[in-house]
Structure 1
Amino acid sequence: MKKTIFYSLLMAGLVTSCDLDINDNPNYPANEQMTPDLIFPSVEAGVAVAAGGDIHNYAGFFSQYFEQSPEASQYVTISQYNLNETSQLLDYSYTTIYARALMDAKEVLDKSTSTALSFATTVMRAYILQVMVDNTSDAPYTEALGGTNVSNPKWDKGEDVYKGILQEMDDAEKALDEDAFASLDAEDLVFDGNMEQWKGLANALRLRMYMRFIDADMEKDAYIEKVKTLVNANNFFTGDAAFRGFADEASKRNPWYETNAVGITGGQCAAYPIVSYYTSTNDPRMSFAINLNKKDNKYVGQIPGGREISDEHNGSDKWLNKDVSAINPNHSDGKGAVQPVYFFTQANLQFLVAEVKLRFLNDAAGAQIAYENAVKADFEARGIAGREDDILNLWAGASTDEDKLDLIYMQKWAAFFCMDHMEAWSELRRTDVPKLTTVPQVDIFKNGIASGYSAGDLISPWKNVMGSGLIKRVNYPLSARMYNVNTPKAVSLDTPVWWDKK
C-alpha cells in the first residue's frame, strides 16, 4: 500500500504544472489515512522533482555544461540570459518546493511523534530551502506555509534562512539523540531508514552552509572552527545521498530525463568549457553524457550563447557550429531514465573535506587523500571505476597550495556534470572557479584553444542580454509576484546572492 500511494504522489508531482498559492497543496489528499509515515516519501519525491528537473536543467546551462543545440531553439533564452519574471524559469520548481515538498514536510512535522521521522524530514526541508536561497538569495521562510492566516508571507534574508534551517536541524537531532528507540518506520528512498546516514547528510549540509558563511565573511572565525570540528569528527554519510525512486515508465522517470528525452528532445549540446577541460585532462567522463559529433567523430563543444552569430564571423552559415556534440540524456550506461537525483554526492563531500584540510587544517597530505577519494567516488558513481588514474595524477602537478586548491575546485566542477548542476552553479559562484576568461569569444571560436584561454575557463555568452559576465541568480517567480505582495522588487541577474562576495 505504501508504494502505491507513493507512486501516485510522485506522478502527480511530475505531471502537474501550474501557478499556485504556496499556502495550498492541491495534490495532498487531506484525510486521516495519510499518516506521517505515508507522507514522508512524497516529501522526498517533491524535493527530487524540484531539484532534479527544471533547476537541474537551467543550472546545467549556467555551469556551462550545456548549450542550446544549433538546430533547436527551446533553451535559447536560457543560454543567452534573456530572462525576466515572465520567463517563469523558477515557477514550477517554486510551486513544487512550497506547495508540495514543504507543505508535505509541514504535515509530517505537525502530525508525527517519531523523532526519527521528524529529523529526516527536517533535513530534507533544510536541503530544499538552501536550494531556494541559492537561486534567489532570499526566500519565504518564517511566515511561509501559514495558510489563510498568512496569505502574503514575507521573504526572509538568505543568511537568516540558512541560520534558521541550521538551528532546525540541531534541534531535531538533539531530540533524536535523546530517543533511545528512534527508528524511521517509513518508506525511505534516500537512505532506506538508516538514521546514521541521515545524521551524516545533516553534517554535510552544515559543512556546505558553513563554508558559504566563511566566504561571505560573516562570523568567519566561528564558522572556520565549526568546519574544522566537522571534518575532524568525520561523521558524514557514506555513498551518495540521492533519491532513487524512479522507474522507466511514463511519469515515473527521472524528471530531467522525462523532459529532455521523452518530451522536448534534442535541446542541449555540449558546452565548450566542459569539453575543453575533459579533453585537456584525458578524462573518460566525457563519454558519460556527451556524444561524438556526426561530422568527424570528435567531441566538439558550443561557445556559450553562440547559437546565433552574424555572417561577419561565420561566413554564409547562420549557426556558430552545426557539428557540435549532442548531450545524451540516457547516458553511456543507458540508465538516464532511472538516474537518481543527487542531493549530495560523496565526491562533493570529499572535495569539501579536501578544501577544509588544505585551507584551515594545514594538512596537504590529508587533502590529497580526500581529493583522491572524491575522484574515485565520482568514477564509481558513473560505473567507470578503475579509469581515474590520469585524474588522480593531476595532484602531483599542483606544486603550491593555491594550485592544489584550484585543482580541487576544477575537479569538483568536472564531477558535478550530470550529477548535481545546481550545486555546480553555486560552487562556481562561491569559489570563482572555473574562472571567467578574458579572451574574446571570437578568438576562441576561430582558433579553438586560443592564446590566453585555459581549458575549462568559463566564457561570457556570445549573445548575452546582460551585456557581459555570468548569471548570478534567477528572477523571482512570476507566481510569487502574482500571489504575494511581499515578493521583493526585481533585481538584475548579475546581482550576487548573499554569500557570493568574491
Structure 2
Amino acid sequence: MKNISKILLIIFSFGALTSCEQDLDVNTNPNTPDTITPDLALASAEASLIAMTGGELANVGGFYAQYYTQAPSAGQYDAIDEYNLPTNFGNRVWDELYSGCLNDLQYVITESELQGNTGKVLIGRLLQAYTYQVLVDVFGDVPYTEALAGVANINPKVTPGNEIYTDLINQINTAVANYNANPVPSAFGAQDVIYQGDMTNWLKFANTLKLKMYMRMSYTSQADPAAVTALLAQNNFITANAGFAIFGTQTSQRNPFFETNLSASPGLGDINHVASNTLMLFYTQNNDPRRNAVYRASTTGAYASIDQGNGAAFNNTAIAYSRPNITAQTPVYLITVAESNFLQAEALIRYSTQAGAKAKYDLGVASSFSTYGLPTASATALTATGAAYEFITGLATEQAVRQVMVQKWAALANVNNIEAYIETTRTKFPEVVPFGTQEYSKGNRVTSLTSILSATSLPSILFYPQNEVDRNKNITQRTSITQKVWWDQKN
C-alpha cells in the first residue's frame, strides 16, 4: 500500500500492516503475515479505497465532470483539461486498489470464512464489489477471475466488464444470504470507519450498491427490470451516508484531495483548480446555495469562474476565482443518501411508469443539501411547483431521467467526483453541446476549449496503466480514451 493510506492507518491507530511496506502490483500474493487480523486488513482496505476515490480519481473526475478547470498562470493539470492523459496516469490508482485494497479485502474474506464470521465476510464482499466496480467503470475490462493469484499467475487475463458485474452481484447475493441464514455480527467496531461494523447499515449498502450496478446496465441487454423492481419493493436502501469522515488537521492526516492539491505552502498549493462555468453558472443562475458550499469565493469575495479549458485566455492566478471548497476534514463518500434517492428515482422512471419518482427526486435534492450542511428548506423551495428544480411529471422516459441526472451531477461535486464523471458518461446528461450554444442554467456541458479530441467528444475511459501493460503480457494498451466501457451504450 502506498504512503497516503499507510499514513491514514497510522493516525487512526490501526497499526502498520506488512502489506503496506512496499509498492505491489495486481499479481502480488494476498496478505499472509501472522500478525495481521481481518480487522486491521479491513481498516487498511478502506483507507486504500478512500485514498484513491477521494484523491486521484476525485481530481480527474472533477475536471471531466466540469466542476473544475485548470487555473490561469498554472499548468499542472493541463493534460487532464486537454483530454490528453498519458498512459501512465492510472499507475498509482491501479496498484493501490489491487495491491492494497483488494488484496486486504481478500484476506478479510478468506480469514473470516475460516472463522465462520458471516458479518465480516459480507462487509469484505461489499467493499470488494465496490472496488472492482470502480475499476471496471474507469478502466473497462480488468483482471478479475485470474486476479489476486500471486505467483500462481503473474499474467492475469482481463475479464469482460459485463461478466464482472454479473459475478459481483452474485457474490453480493450469496454473502447476504449467508449472513441472513447465520447472522454473526462483524464486531469490527471503529476499525470499520464507514459504518462501525453496523450490519443493518451494511445490508442497506448491499441493496444500494446492487441498485447502482443495475442502473449502470440500463442501456444494455443485461438490464434487469425484475431485479430492480424487487429491490424497490424491498425498500431497504441506505439512510446514512457511506463515507470516511475522520480526517485530521495535521499534515498527512487530511482529506487526500486537500493534502495533494490545496494544502501546500503559499505559492505551491491551491493554484491549479478554479471553478468551471459549467457547474458554477448552473448554481448561480438557479440561485442554488450549494454554490457557496462547493466553492470558496475569490480573494475579493466574488464567485468567479471560467469556461472549461479557457485558462490560457487570462493572465491572473487562481485566487482571482472560486476554488474547490474542500478542507482538511471534508469527508470522502462512497455512496450518499442523495445518490441513493436519485438511483431510486431513475429506477422508478424506467421500470415503474414513473410512479413515486418525483418524491425520490425531491428527497435526493433535499439529501444533497443536507450533505453540504445546508437547510433542506432551501431545497424544498427550489423543487416547489414553478421553481427552478421542479420535477415535471409525465415526460418521456429520457427527459424524465434527465431531470434526475442533472440534479445528481449537481449533488456529487466534491462528494464523489469520479461517480459524477461515470454517470455523465453513462447517461449523456448533462449533454455536451457545441461551445457557444450552451445554456448553463439548464445543465449543459461543453468540450474543453483546449481539447485534443474532435467535435463534442469527451473521454469515456482511462488508459490501462502503463506499468501493468509492461509487466502483464495479457493486457494490451487501448488506442484511445474515447473507447467505451461495456455499459456505455446510449447513442
The TM-score with structure 2 as length reference comes to 0.89
Residues 9 and 47, structure 2, Cα contact 8 Å, conserved in 1: no
Which of 392, 402, 411 is the equivalent residue of 1:415? 411
1:259-288, CA deviations, whole angstroms, 9 ceiling, x for partnerless residues?
Answer: 112244321000111012112211000011
Residues 282 and 440, structure 2, Cα contact 8 Å, conserved in 1: no
Partner of 1:352: 343
Paired with 1:368 and 1:304, the residues of 2 have a C-alpha distance of 32
Residues 469 and 475, structure 2, Cα contact 8 Å, conserved in 1: yes
Residues 14 and 40, structure 2, Cα contact 8 Å, conserved in 1: no
Partner of 1:493: 481
Partner of 2:211: 207
The runs of 5 or more residues in structure 2 that have no matched partner are 1-7
Partner of 2:285: 280
1:338-392, CA deviations, whole angstroms, 9 ceiling, x for partnerless residues?
Answer: 222111011011011111222221244x112111111111111111123223432
- Farther-moved stretch of structure 1 (180-189 vs 367-376): 180-189
Partner of 1:333: none
Structure 1's 339 and 291: CA in aligned 2 closer, same or farther, altered over 3 A? closer
Residues 382 and 390, structure 2, Cα contact 8 Å, conserved in 1: no
Task: Give the C-alpha shift of residue 19 in structure 1.
Answer: 6.3
Residues 38 and 111, structure 2, Cα contact 8 Å, conserved in 1: yes
1:12-63, CA deviations, whole angstroms, 9 ceiling, x for partnerless residues?
Answer: 89x99x964323379x6x5322121222111111111121110011011000
- Farther-moved stretch of structure 1 (173-182 vs 342-351): 173-182
Letter in 2 for 1:464: S
Residues 302 and 324, structure 1, Cα contact 8 Å, conserved in 2: no
- Farther-moved stretch of structure 1 (92-101 vs 485-494): 485-494
Do structure 1's residue 459 and structure 2's residue 459 form an aligned pair? no
Equivalent position SS for 1:58: helix
Partner of 1:314: none
Residues 346 and 357, structure 2, Cα contact 8 Å, conserved in 1: yes
Letter in 2 for 1:54: E
Task: Give the C-alpha shift of residue 192 in structure 1.
Answer: 1.3
- Alignment map for 1:474-493 (pairs within 5 Å): 474-493=462-481
Partner of 1:383: 373
- Alignment map for 1:25-64 (pairs within 5 Å): 30-64=32-66
Which of 350, 353, 362 is the equivalent residue of 1:362? 353
Partner of 1:267: 272
- Alignment map for 1:77-476 (pairs within 5 Å): 77-85=79-87, 88-112=88-112, 113=115, 114-186=117-189, 187-216=191-220, 218-220=221-223, 223-263=224-264, 264-294=269-299, 297-308=301-312, 325-330=321-326, 336-364=327-355, 366-385=356-375, 386-393=377-384, 394=388, 396=390, 398=392, 400-402=394-396, 403-438=399-434, 440=435, 443=436, 455-468=442-455, 469-476=457-464
- Farther-moved stretch of structure 1 (341-350 vs 479-488): 479-488
Paired with 2:320 and 2:432, the residues of 1 have a C-alpha distance of 22
How many residues end up aligned between the 2 structures?
Answer: 467
Paired with 1:377 and 1:247, the residues of 2 have a C-alpha distance of 25
Task: Give the C-alpha shift of residue 465 in structure 1.
Answer: 1.4
Task: Give the C-alpha shift of residue 210 in structure 1.
Answer: 0.9
Structure 1's 494 and 454: CA in aligned 2 closer, same or farther, altered over 3 A? farther
Equivalent position SS for 1:497: coil
The TM-score with structure 1 as length reference comes to 0.87
Structure 1's 180 and 284: CA in aligned 2 closer, same or farther, altered over 3 A? closer
Equivalent position SS for 1:465: coil
Paired with 1:35 and 1:11, the residues of 2 have a C-alpha distance of 12
Task: Give the C-alpha shift of residue 454 in structure 1.
Answer: 5.6
Letter in 2 for 1:355: E
Equivalent position SS for 1:303: coil
Residues 461 and 483, structure 2, Cα contact 8 Å, conserved in 1: yes
Structure 1's 11 and 306: CA in aligned 2 closer, same or farther, altered over 3 A? farther
Task: Give the C-alpha shift of residue 6 in structure 1.
Answer: 7.5
Structure 1's 490 and 137: CA in aligned 2 closer, same or farther, altered over 3 A? same
Paired with 2:390 and 2:196, the residues of 1 have a C-alpha distance of 39
Equivalent position SS for 2:243: strand
Residues 416 and 423, structure 1, Cα contact 8 Å, conserved in 2: yes
Task: Give the C-alpha shift of residue 9 in structure 1.
Answer: 6.5
Residues 463 and 477, structure 2, Cα contact 8 Å, conserved in 1: no
Structure 1's 482 and 404: CA in aligned 2 closer, same or farther, altered over 3 A? same
Paired with 2:184 and 2:487, the residues of 1 have a C-alpha distance of 39
Residues 285 and 441, structure 2, Cα contact 8 Å, conserved in 1: no
Task: Give the C-alpha shift of residue 395 in structure 1.
Answer: 5.0
The runs of 5 or more residues in structure 1 that have no matched partner are 310-316, 331-335, 444-449
Structure 1's 451 and 497: CA in aligned 2 closer, same or farther, altered over 3 A? closer
Paired with 1:452 and 1:378, the residues of 2 have a C-alpha distance of 23
Task: Give the C-alpha shift of residue 198 in structure 1.
Answer: 0.7
1:191-241, CA deviations, whole angstroms, 9 ceiling, x for partnerless residues?
Answer: 11111111111111111111122212x233xx1111111112111121111
Paired with 1:61 and 1:132, the residues of 2 have a C-alpha distance of 19
Residues 251 and 258, structure 1, Cα contact 8 Å, conserved in 2: yes
Residues 103 and 145, structure 1, Cα contact 8 Å, conserved in 2: yes
Task: Give the C-alpha shift of residue 326 in structure 1.
Answer: 2.8
Partner of 1:447: none
Residues 437 and 457, structure 1, Cα contact 8 Å, conserved in 2: yes
Q: Percent identity?
A: 30
Residues 266 and 326, structure 1, Cα contact 8 Å, conserved in 2: no
Residues 119 and 183, structure 2, Cα contact 8 Å, conserved in 1: no
Residues 115 and 179, structure 1, Cα contact 8 Å, conserved in 2: yes
1:129-154, CA deviations, whole angstroms, 9 ceiling, x for partnerless residues?
Answer: 10010001111111111111110111
Partner of 1:312: none
